Structure 1
Amino acid sequence: MKHIFTCIFCVLAYAVTAQTPIEKQVGDFDEVKVFDLIEINLIKSEESKVVITGADTEDVEIVNKRGKLKIRMKFDRIFDGSQTFVEVYYKDVDIIDANEGAIIVANETMTQPYLKLKAQEGGRIIANLEVDNLDSRAVTGGIIETSGKVKHQEIVLNTGGIYEGKKLLTEQTKVKVSAGGEAYVSASVLADARVRAGGYIEIHGDPETVKKNKVFGGKIKVK
């Protein structure tokens, strides 16, 4: 019986330790790049730090190299961060990059002049924005979901990249889709849509001007 209680105590102690948040100061950065199925929540702040929670908190590797903050699992736990969550507190960030099934969420509205979003290898970005100029890139199954308001946006999708932007109200949108990518956009003044090799573009917002260009198949639809 004593051995049973000892084992139970050890298991509970391990569980508590595994779930204890880890806070790290990371220094200033303007780009965040995430890997290995880790889920990130971006939070505007006066300091630059991360708070790691969930499972395997000790196995998360944080590196800030010349302003590029990389968040990934250690080599022996690669692609094993689906139960790991990181709050990223930032002062200013210009590039958000989701890789290898990672999820990056910005629940708070990001208000700034410029922002670049990149998603690949099944990575996903979900962001509410109030931005003058937005540049989005998604390839190899990457998904970008946006809402809010943007004056000008440019989107490039390839090899299965998906852009869900019907809830993002823009004045001008330029979108290029190829090789099975899909884009859902909204524009009020100009929508410049180019598609090739099986891509799909759906335009909302009743823009004043719509430019269409199709090469080697693909579809452009105005809703």
Structure 2
Amino acid sequence: MKNVLVIGFLFLSLVGVSQRIVDKSVGDFNEVKVYDLIEVNLIKSDENKVLVKGDNVDDIQIINKNGVLKIKMELDKKFHGENTFVEVYFKNIDLIDGNEGARITVNETLSQEKIELKTQEGAKIKVGLDVHHLVVRCVTGGIVEASGKTINQEVVLNTGGVFEGKPLRSEKASIKITAAGEAEMYVSEAVDINIKAGGDVYVYGNPRSVNKNTFAGGRVKVMD
């Protein structure tokens, strides 16, 4: 019986440690950059703060410098953030930037004038939008998955970047791909497409105007 009680106590202690949450005020910011395989949920709020839970909660760096909030692991834990989960509560956001395999999800639709999304090194951003202007840049295997609506979107893909934008309704769009990349986009009026050294663009929405220019490989498909 005593052994059972000891085991039970140890189990509860381990659970308590694993569920420990770090709550940190971070001041005002309008840009977020995430690194090291860390998973982040962005949550619209009336205050700016960060909650950290999961493994390695004491090994995460949260730095706000000139309105740019950086979330990364300590140097000796670099690229070991896959079991560390972060909730970022924000009042305003202009740019979301994913790096080094990070996973960023915006929990509710972003309604604002403009938003910029950047991913690189295999990172991914998933977001719902209601904006006038969207700017996307994906390089080195970075992925942006967007849904909702925008009036205009500008997309740049390099070296394997991916834009999953079919569920995002837009009126006008421009896309530029260099050295491979893949995009799906929904456009109702006009789209301008430039591809150099390989890449694929799938256009939905039967836009009235499709201006395409390819060099050294590349495919454009207007889908039904």
TM-score in terms of structure 1 length = 0.95
Report SS of the residue matched to 1:100.
coil
1:180 is displaced (CA, Å) by: 1.5
User: What corresponds to 1:83 in structure 2?
Assistant: 83
2:54 partner amino acid? G
1:47-87 CA-to-partner distances (Å, cap 9, x unmatched) read 00011112221211100000000001111111111111111
Correspondence 1:170 to 2:170: yes
2:56 partner amino acid? D
Report SS of the residue matched to 2:88.
strand
CA distance in structure 2 between the aligned counterparts of 1:109 and 1:4, rounded to whole angstroms: 49
CA distance in structure 1 between the aligned counterparts of 2:121 and 2:4, rounded to whole angstroms: 45
Report SS of the residue matched to 1:86.
strand
1:10 is displaced (CA, Å) by: 4.7
More moved, 196-205 vs 13-22: 13-22
Correspondence 1:41 to 2:51: no
CA distance in structure 2 between the aligned counterparts of 1:110 and 1:144, rounded to whole angstroms: 15
User: What corresponds to 2:120 in structure 1?
Assistant: 120
**Superposed CA RMSD:** 1.6
CA 1:11–1:78 in 2, change beyond 3 Å: closer, same or farther?
farther
TM-score in terms of structure 2 length = 0.95
The 8 Å contact of residues 19 and 57 in structure 1, kept in 2 or not, is answered as: no
The 8 Å contact of residues 146 and 164 in structure 1, kept in 2 or not, is answered as: yes
2:138 partner amino acid? A
1:123-165 CA-to-partner distances (Å, cap 9, x unmatched) read 0000000011110000000000000000011000000000000
1:15 is displaced (CA, Å) by: 3.8
CA distance in structure 1 between the aligned counterparts of 2:115 and 2:204, rounded to whole angstroms: 22
1:206 partner amino acid? N
User: What corresponds to 1:219 in structure 2?
Assistant: 219
1:107 is displaced (CA, Å) by: 2.4
Correspondence 1:158 to 2:161: no
1:2 is displaced (CA, Å) by: 7.5
CA distance in structure 2 between the aligned counterparts of 1:10 and 1:62, rounded to whole angstroms: 31
User: What corresponds to 1:26 in structure 2?
Assistant: 26
The 8 Å contact of residues 18 and 56 in structure 1, kept in 2 or not, is answered as: no
Correspondence 1:185 to 2:185: yes
Correspondence 1:139 to 2:139: yes
1:154 partner amino acid? E
CA distance in structure 2 between the aligned counterparts of 1:214 and 1:123, rounded to whole angstroms: 27
Correspondence 1:129 to 2:129: yes
User: What corresponds to 2:59 in structure 1?
Assistant: 59
User: What corresponds to 1:195 in structure 2?
Assistant: 195
CA distance in structure 2 between the aligned counterparts of 1:5 and 1:125, rounded to whole angstroms: 45
1:19-51 CA-to-partner distances (Å, cap 9, x unmatched) read 211111100100000001111111111100011
Structure 1 unpaired stretches of 5+: none
CA 1:203–1:89 in 2, change beyond 3 Å: closer, same or farther?
same
1:110 is displaced (CA, Å) by: 0.2
Q: How many residues are matched? A: 223
Report SS of the residue matched to 1:101.
coil
1:175 partner amino acid? I
1:16 is displaced (CA, Å) by: 1.4
Report SS of the residue matched to 1:108.
coil
Report SS of the residue matched to 2:108.
strand
